[in-house]
Amino acid sequence: MEKSAEGWFGSSWWHNPFSSSIASAEDRIALPMLEERCMVFAYHDPEEARKDEEVEDRLLLAWRRAWWANGFMPLVLGEAEAKKNPLYPKFETVKMKPEMKREVMRWLAWGMMGRGALVNHRVIPMGPLNDETLLSLKKCTHYDAVTRYEEFGNLLYSASKSSLESALNALVKSPTLTMASTIEGALTSKDMLKVAPFPKGLADYTPASVSKLYGNLEPSKLPELINAHLHATFLSFYSDGIEYLAPFAGRLNAVNQPAVTLAHRLANCPTNSPIPISCPPNNPSCTPCNKRLAISSRPHYQNSSTTFLIGLVPHPFTTVQLTTTDLSLSNSRKDRAIRFIRRKLTRDPWVLKVTDEAFDNHHVGPQPRVVKMKEVVVSPPQEARTGFWGTETTGFRDVEWALGFTLPEEKELKLTLPPVEKKDTVKLADAVKVVGKCEGNAVCRAVEAWCMADTELWKFVNAWAERREAVRVKWSGEERRFGKGLAEDE
């Protein structure tokens, strides 16, 4: 069991319908155990960075965000790590070609980290999450020999701790070290390097590649081009468009407004591309994005690999507040509201409604339904991005880090969304206030007790988003020491 002081804990028993049955405290939510993020390293060359530090900084940020969204732990290394390597003094005495010296410094810094993948900071994951190269790099501790990749030069290596140490020791003793221009040229034993297939899911934005493919692109515009290609690649996976859950025939329009907004920000073609009709380096025959993906709402969850689903899960108090016309829970006397809950309120209305198609048998109770929806929320991050989830109290958190690219703002798209009735906006605001202090509100607690599955799913989505962001923020804090490639909010 993974312990946490927060309102969640990692457990292999997270499939249990109700966390309260396995938690030490009633309000703590069981989440799936955290999967290990394999480390990928980029070396920050200060000499290269001096050419345009601001652009290099934005490129490092794009690199970090894209690799993080693909399930890795990207870390930026520099001279300090290289010079801490015990082998550094030995290499320092060898007169090498400038390009070889830069390469050795990269490897020395990498060697201090022990294992993982060494990636050029202009190499961006630009493909499906189940790309063969990405899946092989996610083996973490299962690397064997130092591996280079066919027709990819020095842009990507992976290695175990022992194989990396062996390669560095062989390198410092190499008789060709002074004449070589590459690691491969200096390592006399070809057994030191294993060759893996060309990494189709990785895009090469190094200067030579950019010059060849994008002509006279201004260097300062490269981060925007990368971001546009990431966004367009994401859109290409969902031929049937973006969907958002909207049960109860419009009565939750006020609740779903953030989902509608996010759907539009996602579905529109990138707005900031310096070359709108262009393709990523690893997919030159792509169909460039030229129109917005279809956006639709649906009252029920439906499993589909060709649509991206956005779900905003309301607290059951909010659901009742906006869907019932009999009374207002926030403005009624406590005894009347609780009597209504016990006598007239259907248990777990939201979960029952959205799983209506997933379960043909209407006699299936809320327990298997809430388990199903938990699986949908977390399913399966290592294989595909099937959707994004939030709640009415926290909205959608850390979207850009979860997806790997920035989204156009509402004002850029000039969105004109269907208006929400003022009375519904007021009802929603009242409900959010009550839910924020639910523990001290007898009516809110009564709704939670009556709608246990709806409450469980709401708490689960909040906890899932909270942990995802907390893990990212902790990593960002550790990376802050290097001070390069940081977002404004890091």
Let me know if residue 174 belongs to a domain.
Answer: yes
Q: What is the pLDDT of residue 380?
A: 63
| Side-chain-facing half-sphere of 25: CA atoms under 13 Å | 10
Let me know if residue 219 belongs to a domain.
Answer: no
Mean pLDDT of 376-386: 73
Instruction: Categorize the per-residue pLDDT at 438 as very low, low, confident or very high, splitting at 50, 70 and 90.
Output: very high
Q: What is the pLDDT of residue 419?
A: 87
pLDDT tens digits, 250-299:
899 999 999 999 999 999 999 989 999 999 999 999 999 999 999 999 99
Question: Which residues pair with residue 303 across a beta bridge?
Answer: none
In terms of Cβ atoms closer than 10 Å to its own Cβ (0-12, 13-18, 19+), residue 317 is buried
27 & 44 share domain = no
16 & 55 share domain = no
Residue 360 has pLDDT above 80, yes or no: no
Three-class secondary structure of residue 261 per DSSP: helix
18 & 134 share domain = no
More confident residue, 41 or 361: 41
pLDDT tens digits, 408-433:
998 888 888 888 999 999 999 999 99
Let me know if residue 217 belongs to a domain.
Answer: no
Nearest to 354 by CA among 382, 381, 329, 387: 387
Which residues neighbour 62 within 8 Å (Cβ) at sequence distance 6 or greater? 124, 223, 226, 227, 230
Q: What is the pLDDT of residue 4?
A: 59
Q: What is the pLDDT of residue 49?
A: 61
Residue 379 has pLDDT above 90, yes or no: no
269 & 132 share domain = no
**DSSP letter assigned to residue 404:** S
293 & 349 share domain = yes
Given 179, 204, 229, the domain boundary residue is 204
400 & 259 share domain = yes
Q: What is the pLDDT of residue 144?
A: 76
Q: How far apart are CA 372 and CA 184, in angstroms?
A: 50
Q: What is the pLDDT of residue 5?
A: 54
pLDDT tens digits, 216-236:
899 999 999 999 999 999 999
Across the chain, what does the average pLDDT equal?
91
Measured in whole angstroms, the distance separating CA 483 from the mean position of its chain's CA atoms is 22
120 & 170 share domain = yes
Q: What is the pLDDT of residue 103?
A: 96
| Inter-residue contact 257 to 418 (CB < 8 Å) | no
Q: What is the pLDDT of residue 376?
A: 94
More confident residue, 191 or 467: 467
Let me know if residue 184 belongs to a domain.
Answer: yes
Q: How far apart are CA 428 and CA 434, in angstroms?
A: 10
Q: What is the pLDDT of residue 383?
A: 56
Token representation of residue 427 = 């009802």
Q: How far apart are CA 452 and CA 20, in angstroms?
A: 10
pTM (2 d.p.): 0.94
263 & 305 share domain = yes
Q: What is the pLDDT of residue 244?
A: 96
Let me know if residue 267 belongs to a domain.
Answer: yes
Instruction: Categorize the per-residue pLDDT at 359 as very low, low, confident or very high, splitting at 50, 70 and 90.
Output: confident
Backbone φ, ψ for residue 472 (5° rounding): -65, -45
185 & 305 share domain = no
Backbone φ, ψ for residue 122 (5° rounding): -105, 15
Residue 1 has pLDDT above 60, yes or no: no
171 & 247 share domain = no
Q: How far apart are CA 114 and CA 101, in angstroms?
A: 20
Residue 92 has pLDDT above 70, yes or no: yes
Three-class secondary structure of residue 279 per DSSP: coil
Mean pLDDT of 318-324: 95
Residue 2 has pLDDT above 60, yes or no: no
Q: What is the pLDDT of residue 3?
A: 54
311 & 197 share domain = no
DSSP-assigned states of every residue in 127-163? S-TT-HHHHHHTTGGG--SEEEETT-TTSEEEE-HHH
Mean pLDDT of 355-375: 89
Backbone φ, ψ for residue 77 (5° rounding): -110, 160
Let me know if residue 221 belongs to a domain.
Answer: no
Q: What is the pLDDT of residue 128?
A: 83
134 lies in which domain range?
39-204
More confident residue, 110 or 20: 110
Q: How many domains does the chain have?
A: 3
Given 204, 225, 253, the domain boundary residue is 204
423-439 burial, b if ≥16 CB within 10 A, otherwise e? ebeebbebbbebbeebe
In Å, the largest CA–CA distance within the chain is 89
Residue 481 has pLDDT above 80, yes or no: no
Residue 381 has pLDDT above 60, yes or no: no
185 & 251 share domain = no
Angstrom distances, CA of residue 135 to CA of 187, 290, 381: 28, 31, 12
Q: What is the pLDDT of residue 176?
A: 93
**DSSP letter assigned to residue 440:** G
pLDDT tens digits, 29-84:
999 998 889 999 999 987 776 678 889 999 999 999 999 999 999 999 999 999 99
Three-class secondary structure of residue 388 per DSSP: strand
**Angle (nearest 5°) at CA 22 between 16 and 27:** 100
CATH of the domain at 48: 3.90.550
